[in-house]
Amino acid sequence: MADKILHAVYDDDDKLMHAVKDLRAANFSIDEVYTPFPVHGLDKALGLKPTRLAILSFIYGCIGFSFAIFMMNYIMIVDWPQNIGGKPSFSFIENMPSFVPIMFELTVFFAAHLMVITFYLRSKLWPFKEAENPLPSTTDDKFLIEIKFHGDGKSLKAAVKKTDVFDINIIDNTDSKK
Amino acid sequence: MYKVSKNIKILSFTLMIIGALGIAYGFYSAPKTIEQAKELVADSHGHGHSNDSDSHSYEEADHSDSKEGHSASHDEHLLHKLQNRPWSSIYVAALFFMFLSLGTLAFYAIQRASQAGWSPLLFRVMEGITAYLLPGTLIILVILILSAMHLNHLFVWMDPEVVAHDKIIQGKSGYLNSPFLIARAVFYIFGWNFYRYISRKYSLAQDTSSDISNHKRNFQWSAGFLAFFIVTESMMSWDWIMSVDPHWFSTLFGWYVFASMFVSGITTIALITIYLKSKGYLEKVNHNHIHDLGKFMFGVSVFWTYLWFSQFMLIWYANIPEEVTYFITRIEDYNLPFFGMIALNFIFPLLLLMNSDYKRVNWFIVMTGIIILIGHYIDVFNMIMPATVGDKWFIGIPELSSVAFFAGLFIYVVFNSISKAPLEPSGDPLLKESEKFVY
């Protein structure tokens, strides 16, 4: 159980990127990074696994597509057959072209909305949730690396100091729990 | 410096010779008289490979014949269709390969005008592909002139006999007349090739120059060319393609043709880049660049489908007789190529290139690229053939050998041009950015 947390603050995304690479090269495991904006290439530098959200978005799109087919078939053909473009045929496939815009829109709608909801659930975000970031200025212009460690962490502090760091804070985990 | 390998030379000349022989055979086997035409059709009915039960009544409208002598004009019409087949197959293949080059030129100009940082490493490949523009467009011009001299019946509105009986074409004759068509064609062809010449000149001059004045001039010319191109390309598509169906019109046809040539051009860039890389050239091009080309192939394929469907759906829904004949001919007589092309041009690229990782795998790009090129050949086929040969179509010796001939010529011209200049545009100010590029 890690009992202390080190917060290394940076004032530039390039400095952050270099620090992340150096610290990881020195075998320190970085627990979390807070940035005011998405930093290009940071996920790779941190060695994060690629997101599986893309696979889910494809599945959600397929659900939306199937739902649109089901819905248009029920509304326009089965429940209350409609005269489409002056060609009343009561057949789904013959009227399919006029349903394509709906199929497309619902595919996008399902993929987009379900993906956002999934992302919120996965990141444990919901309305009125208290912000978790330890330093409010990471929403403005600062970048923060969070590393948990045991003992006095001398070698860690030395390694962090070697990077182009703006500020270092040590937080006692047992204190903050109270 | 790239040197054209022996294999490429042998391949291109073989294709050209086989193609030329096949084209000659196509002309030889086309009927010369009405009797021969009737015999040929009776024959093909005997073999039973065409299921047409005189469904070319829509085509007939184009020729709006006088009431008497209907059957005689019908027979003559049949003869014209059969005689059109070798011409149409040449025209389709010539257009398709010219489009590869023109689409690439538009893509190249966009890279130049937008000062794109990822693509300079590929400029010499693109310039190589656009080298085919001059022979490609001149061949089209020759075909157009031959049509205007009544050596074939590709454009029914060029036939004064047809125009005399056709109110609709008479109304359009201020625009649709042979001298004006040729004049416009010369104008477009000159403009495109002039830009290609200027841009290539500045591109080569930039390699050895100490400042970036050539680069800047290239930027200005490219921006100007894009404005010129989008107007002339649209008009070209009306003149060279849409006018084979002189009664029919579609306002987004220019965009539709543009999407087709754009995606095939980008695909050609990807294929040739991968080929050159496999031979050990273009060391600095890596999978990031291929990934970007893959994204364009994917995106523009979807864009093409969007335009295809937008054109189809409105006409299908409104069901106005003079508009809907266009699609009825294609659905009834060209069912397989018409719907098959959607699978090739939309479903395959959509599913094969959707995954980000697949766009970085060379053989995936090559496989999808070949499918896209076949699909867009069929697209051009569907634009021309229904109007010129009607239901008497087949992808046989004349069509395949025309493709072979132009493919051979294309490969020869393109690789020859690529070998003329260093593959790396060493003076380009954005070269460093292109080398470091991560998608």
Q: Which H or E element spans position A4?
A: strand A4-10
Note the pLDDT of residue A4: 83
Q: How many CB pairs under 8 A join A and B?
A: 21
Q: pLDDT band at A175, cuts 50/70/90?
A: low
CB of B354 within 8 Å of a chain A CB? The answer is yes
Mutate to test the interface with A, among B303, B312, B313 (most CBs of A within 10 A): B313
CB of A82 within 8 Å of a chain B CB? The answer is no
**Predicted TM-score of the model (pTM):** 0.86
Task: Show residues of chain B in contact with A101, CB under 8 Å.
Answer: 313
Task: Show residues of chain A in contact with B312, CB under 8 Å.
Answer: 97
Sign of the alpha-carbon dihedral angle for B18, B20, B22, B24? negative
CB of B319 within 8 Å of a chain A CB? The answer is yes
Are the C-beta atoms of B321 and B61 separated by less than 8 Å? no
**B354–A85 C-beta distance less than 8 A:** no
Rg (CA), chain B: 23
Consecutive 10-residue averages of pLDDT for chain B (439 residues): 90 94 90 76 52 43 48 76 89 96 96 93 95 96 94 89 88 92 96 96 91 92 96 95 92 94 96 94 91 95 95 91 90 93 93 89 94 96 91 87 95 94 90 86
Spell out a b/e string for A59-96, using b for 16 or more CB atoms within 10 Å of the CB, else e: ebbeebbeebbeebbeebbeeeeeebeeeeeeeeeebe
For residues B275 and B304, what is the distance between their CA atoms, to the nearest angstrom?
A: 26
Spell out a b/e string for B78-115, using b for 16 or more CB atoms within 10 Å of the CB, else e: bbbbbbbbbbbbbbbbbbbbbbbbbbbbbbbbbbbbee
CB of A98 within 8 Å of a chain B CB? The answer is yes
Which has more pLDDT, B197 or A156? B197
Chain center to CA of A158: 32
Q: Which of residues 86-145 of B touch A (CB under 8 A)?
A: none
Task: Please tell me which of the candidates B309, B356, B438 has its beta carbon nearest to residue A100.
Answer: B309
**A97–B313 C-beta distance less than 8 A:** yes
For residues B4 and B412, what is the distance between their CA atoms, to the nearest angstrom?
A: 9
Smallest CA–CA distance from A104 into chain B, residue: B306
pLDDT tens digits along A38-58 = 998 888 888 888 888 889 999
Note the pLDDT of residue A178: 39
Task: Please tell me which of the candidates B316, B355, B438 has its beta carbon nearest to residue A97.
Answer: B316
Give the residues across from A10 on adjacent strands.
A143
Task: Show residues of chain A in contact with B316, CB under 8 Å.
Answer: 85, 97
**B318–A85 C-beta distance less than 8 A:** yes
Q: B49-54, long-range: CB within 8 Å, 24+ apart, which pairs?
A: B49/B394, B50/B391, B50/B392, B52/B333, B52/B391
Closest CA to B297 of B340, B254, B352, B220: B352
Chain center to CA of B31: 28
CB of B339 within 8 Å of a chain A CB? The answer is no
* Domains (range + CATH), chain A: 4-36+141-176 (3.30.70.260), 53-122 (no CATH)
**A98–B313 C-beta distance less than 8 A:** yes
CB of A62 within 8 Å of a chain B CB? The answer is no
Count other C-beta atoms under 10 Å from residue A29's C-beta: 11
The residue behind tokens 């994204």 is: B295
Smallest CA–CA distance from B314 into chain A, residue: A98
For residues A49 and A39, what is the distance between their CA atoms, to the nearest angstrom?
A: 16
Q: Name the burial class of residue B289, with classes exposed (0-12), middle (13-18) and buried (19+) by CB atoms within 10 angstroms of its CB.
A: buried
Q: How far is CA B385 from CA B84, B88, B176, B372, in A?
A: 9, 7, 20, 20
Note the pLDDT of residue B63: 47
CB of A97 within 8 Å of a chain B CB? The answer is yes
How far apart are the CA of B314 and the nearest CA of chain A, in angstroms?
9
CB of A54 within 8 Å of a chain B CB? The answer is yes
Closest CA to B284 of B63, B433, B62, B96: B433
Count other C-beta atoms under 10 Å from residue B65's C-beta: 19
Q: Which DSSP string do the residues of B101-146 spell out, in sequence order?
A: HHHHHHHHHHHHHTT-SS-GGGHHHHHHHHTTHHHHHHHHHHHHHH
**B319–A86 C-beta distance less than 8 A:** yes
For residues A88 and A113, what is the distance between their CA atoms, to the nearest angstrom?
A: 35
Note the pLDDT of residue A130: 86
DSSP-based helix, strand, coil % in chain B, nearest 5: 75, 0, 25
For residues B152 and B85, what is the distance between their CA atoms, to the nearest angstrom?
A: 10
Note the pLDDT of residue B303: 96
Task: Show residues of chain B in contact with A87, CB under 8 Å.
Answer: 319
Task: Show residues of chain B in contact with A82, CB under 8 Å.
Answer: none
Instruction: Say if the ipTM goes beyond 0.95.
Output: no
Note the pLDDT of residue A2: 63
- Mean pLDDT (chain A) is 87
Closest CA to B30 of B93, B96, B88: B88
**A58–B356 C-beta distance less than 8 A:** no
Task: Show residues of chain A in contact with B354, CB under 8 Å.
Answer: 58
Q: Which DSSP string do the residues of B372-436 spell out, in sequence order?
A: HHHHHHHHHHHHHHHHHTTT----SHHHHHHHHHHHHHHHHHHHHHHTTS-SS-TT-TTHHHHHT
Smallest CA–CA distance from A55 into chain B, residue: B355
pLDDT tens digits along A111-146 = 999 999 999 998 888 888 888 888 888 888 889 988
**A58–B317 C-beta distance less than 8 A:** no
Count other C-beta atoms under 10 Å from residue B288's C-beta: 14
Residue A74 has pLDDT above 90, yes or no: yes
